[in-house]
Amino acid sequence: MPFRFRDNVEKMQGYTPGFQPTEADAIKINTNENPYPPSPKVFEALANLDSEALRRYPPVRGDAFRRTAAKVHGIDPEMIVCGNGGDELLTILMRCCCDEKRPLAYPIPSYSLYPVLAEIQKAPTIEIPWGENYSIPKELYQTDAALTILCNPNAPTGTLVSMDEVRQLAQAVEGVLMIDEAYVDFSDHNCLPLVKEFDNVLILRSMSKGYSLAGMRFGYAMGSRRIAEAMFKVKDSYNVNMATQAAAAAALSDQVYFRRIINKIITERERLITALREIGFVVPPSQTNFVLAQIKEPAARQVYEKLIQRHIYVRYFEKEGLDDKLRITVGAPLQTDALLGALREIINGLLQD
Ligand SMILES: Cc1ncc(COP(=O)(O)O)c(C=O)c1O
């Protein structure tokens, strides 16, 4: 008999990450990475790592990072849990909360990793389409979910829900509410104050986007001590390596550099949106470092494929409601220029065919 995995693992598709091109001239605007390098303080911190630090296991809870984050965010360090990217923290929380009898709920469309993690836990999912103008859908207030995830601002729509609305959701749900703020560095507001009001709320932050550390893999969660302690029980003891802990603390401590980069990306985002609308795309306002651009004619898939031929990589989701759209990361100005030039030529060409 050939060996088999658990039934749900045999059946599942797994998450599809964004394509990683290898061409030297590739314009990679498909996974919402930051076009700018991390703070110079990150490189200093890495250069200053001594051999003792690498010989030993790293601090279990990331104490130096937690002290820095506690100062920056004005919260108790005991409320902070560090992980190898936001994705690992999503996995840990899902393992804490969900199983066959304990569902996961979230509005759709949203981050396509959520159902994959639920599937690993064999947890049922309650998927509810966003309400009007991407408000929180009423049904989400009344589920029996053990865990509700609100991606805010949401991916891939780029939309943001007000803190008042999220507060009402936190009051209404009986289980844990995770607010996935992976993209909040580019938004007008965040929901961090809610972790002081509710012990069932956990905020997720990623350092892959605003802090340019996607390659280091670091994220952190902030919530009540009760949630943090559950996550400590479930996570690997030494989950985040020493170099990553040092790099993340250095990046977070350099708020001046961070603000400068964020402002550049927000300025570029607005230029990209205006130009895409001029070309004929329907582009809603974005509160993230990407835009979701809709095109009916020619088909989005055709445009996506033609862009690849020119080594320009954006994200296309073959899914109902998204298959007429391209998700485009806000890059550096030269990348935007190359994208816009290519789009004009491609669209004109396809419309003439
Ligand atoms: C909505 C959302 N949440 C969380 C993450 C996790 O990011 P990371 O694991 O790089 O911190 C991502 C990454 O793309 C994301 O899009």
* DSSP calls for 136-165: PPGGGGG---SEEEEESS-TTT-----HHH
Spatial separation of the C-alpha atoms in residues 227 and 199, rounded to whole Å:
8
pLDDT 10s digits, 299-317: 999 999 999 999 999 999 9
Spatial separation of the C-alpha atoms in residues 31 and 311, rounded to whole Å:
15
CA 263 to centroid of ligand 1, rounded, Å:
21
Whether the model clears a pTM of 0.85, i.e. scores above it, the answer is: yes
Domains and CATH numbers, the chain: 7-36+256-352 (3.90.1150.10), 40-254 (3.40.640.10)
Ligand 1: residues with CB < 6 A are: 32, 85-87, 111, 151, 155, 180, 182, 206, 208, 214, 219
- Percent of the chain at pLDDT above 70? 100
Ligand 1 atom at minimal distance to the Cα of residue 219:
11
Ligand 1 atom at minimal distance to the Cα of residue 89:
9
Give me the pLDDT at residue 353, please: 79
Tokens 């389409």 locate to 129
- Percent of the chain at pLDDT above 90? 95
CA 220 to centroid of ligand 1, rounded, Å:
11
pLDDT 10s digits, 119-148: 999 999 999 999 999 999 999 999 999 999
CA 150 to centroid of ligand 1, rounded, Å:
13
Ligand 1: residue whose CA is nearest its atom 6: 86
Rounded-to-5 percentages of helix, strand, coil across the chain: 45, 15, 40
CA 214 to centroid of ligand 1, rounded, Å:
9
CA 4 to centroid of ligand 1, rounded, Å:
31
Distances (CA, A) of 319 to 133, 135, 153, 291: 20, 21, 20, 17
Ligand 1 atom at minimal distance to the Cα of residue 155:
1
pLDDT 10s digits, 201-213: 999 999 999 999 9
Ligand 1 atom at minimal distance to the Cα of residue 206:
11
Q: Evaluate whether 326 touches 315 at the Cβ level (below 8 Å).
A: yes
Spatial separation of the C-alpha atoms in residues 101 and 308, rounded to whole Å:
43
Best substitution site from 20, 88, 91, 111 to test ligand 1's pocket, by max atoms within 8 Å of Cβ? 111
Measured at the CA of 262, the angle between CA 261 and CA 264, to 5 degrees, comes to 65
Give me the pLDDT at residue 53, please: 86
Q: Evaluate whether 222 touches 190 at the Cβ level (below 8 Å).
A: no
Best substitution site from 15, 84, 87 to test ligand 1's pocket, by max atoms within 8 Å of Cβ? 87
